[in-house]
Amino acid sequence: MSYQQLQHHFLKISHLQHLEAICSWDQAAMMPDGGNDARSEAMAELSVLVHQQTTAAHLGQWIDAAEQETLSAAEQASLAAIKRRWKQATQLPEDLVQAQSLANSTCEHAWREQRKNNDWDAFKPNLAKVVDLVREEARIRAVDSGLRPYDAMLELYEPGMTSAKLDVLFADVKAWLPEFIQRADEIQQQKKVIVPQGPFAIERQKELGLAAMKLLGFDFTHGRLDVSTHPFCGGVPSDVRITTRYDESDFMKALLGVIHETGHARYEQNLPKTWAGLPVGEARSMGVHESQSLFFEMQLARSKEFTQLLAPLARTSLQREQDAAFSNDNLYAFNTRMKRGYIRVDADELTYPAHVILRYEIERALVEGDIEVDDIPALWNEKMQAYLGLSTEGNYRDGCMQDIHWPGGAFGYFPSYTLGAMYAAQEFAAASRRIAQLPEKIAQGDLAPLFDWLQENIWSKGSLLSTDELITAATGEPLNARFFKAHLQRRYLDNN
């Protein structure tokens, strides 16, 4: 009886979160600038209402009673997910939740124009307010959980992961990544690649993105594609909203952004319907979520086999039928170039981990009070030069102001990207062992076996398993960097 009461209560909360998600998408993609103040206040009020419902005094009693009831294994997993959500919510006072919602909305909205203008001085006070509140949140969660402040924030996105574990994984990557980047650079200097020349009309780029989404199985009756300052996947499983941003000089940025977000969307659209609206029916972690987007973007879309499907779509949509730059082989070579760059979302998969590790090291120091907001630009420049040989001095737009995460208060999220890349490589290797002649199937456009594997092993599981259990069950072993390293060597060093 108590479990059923909890289930009904959290379904009501999910309805409020549905509205919250759509309002957030609208704020980023459709809302006129003049509506921001009122929208921010309304969303802050909604976040408080969700918080009140999630921290209702009687929930603790219901949880205690439900733990004494006879439940199925799936219901036990559902109860554990509810308890975790309740504990995380009760850690924070209502006034902090409201203050964070207002600060994050204000900072994120202002960031859009400030980034465009490279205006660090105007951005800094807004970010400082967000960081102060994140530190307060981290302190409260750390006291309650016994974790380090940064680990307490990491737990929100990647349950069970700690900075100590990350340091081991990332140290492994940092040990071989510089050599891989250098060797790839030397190999590519010996190859000629034709760079597709724009302009590429935005409407034609949109047509290409929609064609790619269709090829990848996106359900357009439960989602849509729009434009925003920073690409994202939002909404809810029954109404998934993905966005991209267009550059008329480079069609690949938007296309790969669409494919990346489609990976997120397919995961959301295929989460277990039986548990819809409950915490156990949600994605297991952001690392697992990123594994799906990177599975689509990196493992699949940049492969030689998938390029045989993508290149004809690009030639038709962009009207480049006779353009040698759009041949299958050249587009594959272009799509697997390694290039040291400033922008994380535009980075190739070989240099991408450097971007993530840089942010992880800075945000951990920031949350734990080892550095201040004023220190970010210089530290960013120092690490960017050390990891990728690039200077961002005075270039805040392409440096520490490029991402939406910190303005939105999402500290502890960035490690999910490289964890996701590792998960994705390990998952794709497992799928390749399971599915006979997978490369040939992909080249022929038969993607159903691959999606069926994801459905069986990842999508349908929701949060019924812990992350370690999920990855071990799907791949036969816990997460490690071995498959990621092997994948990068095969694609960038051995096959070039």
| 420 pLDDT higher than 90 | yes
How confident is the model at residue 94, as a pLDDT?
86
Percent of the chain at pLDDT > 70 equals: 100
- Per DSSP, the chain holds a count of helices (H) and strands (E) of 20, 3
> Mean per-residue pLDDT for 349-364?
97
pLDDT band at 111 (very low <50, low <70, confident <90, very high): very high
pLDDT band at residue 57 under the 50/70/90 scheme: confident
Q: What is the pLDDT of residues 39-51, one digit of tens each?
A: 989 998 998 899 9
Is residue 345 very low, low, confident or very high in pLDDT (cuts 50, 70, 90)?
confident
For residues 452 and 432, what is the distance between their CA atoms, to the nearest angstrom?
13
Give the strands of the sheet with 239-244, arranged side by side.
223-227, 239-244, 233-236
Contacts of 191 (CB under 8 A, 6+ apart): 333, 496
Pick the catalytic residue from 137, 261, 349, 363. Answer: 261
Instruction: Determine the average pLDDT of the residues in 429-444.
Output: 98
- Rounded to 5 degrees, φ, ψ at 370 are -80, -25
Residue 446, classed as helix, strand or coil, is coil
Average pLDDT of the residues of the chain = 95
Check residue 108 and give its pLDDT.
93
pLDDT at 147: 96
- DSSP per-residue letters across 266-334: HHHHTS-GGGTTSGGGS-S-HHHHHHHHHIIIIIIITSHHHHHHHHHHHHHHTT-TT-GGGSHHHHHHH
Q: Taking a C-beta distance cutoff of 8 angstroms, is the pair 195, 250 a contact?
A: no
Strand spans (E) along 319-437: none
Q: Which of 46, 30, 27 is nearest to 110 (CA)?
A: 27
pLDDT tens for residues 365-377?
A: 999 999 999 999 9
Q: Where are any strands of DSSP class E within 413-496?
A: none
Mean pLDDT of 181-196: 93
Q: What are phi and psi of 486, to 5 degrees?
A: -60, -40
pLDDT category, 230, cuts 50, 70, 90? confident
Region 342-367: what's the mean pLDDT?
95
Residue reference for tokens 């990842």: 458
261 is catalytic: yes
pTM over 0.85: yes
Q: Judging by beta carbons within 10 Å of its beta carbon (0-12, 13-18, 19+), is residue 140 exposed, middle or buried?
A: middle
Predicted pLDDT at 496: 55
pLDDT score recorded for residue 205? 98
Does domain 164-494 fall into CATH 1.10.1370.30?
A: yes
- Tell me which amino acid residue 256 is: L
Position 87 scores a pLDDT of 93
Average confidence (pLDDT) over 168-173: 95
- Range name among 7-11, 151-155, 228-232, 464-468 with the lowest pLDDT average: 228-232
The answer to whether residues 211 and 221 touch, using CB atoms and an 8 Å cutoff, is no
Q: Evaluate if residue 334 carries a pLDDT over 80.
A: yes
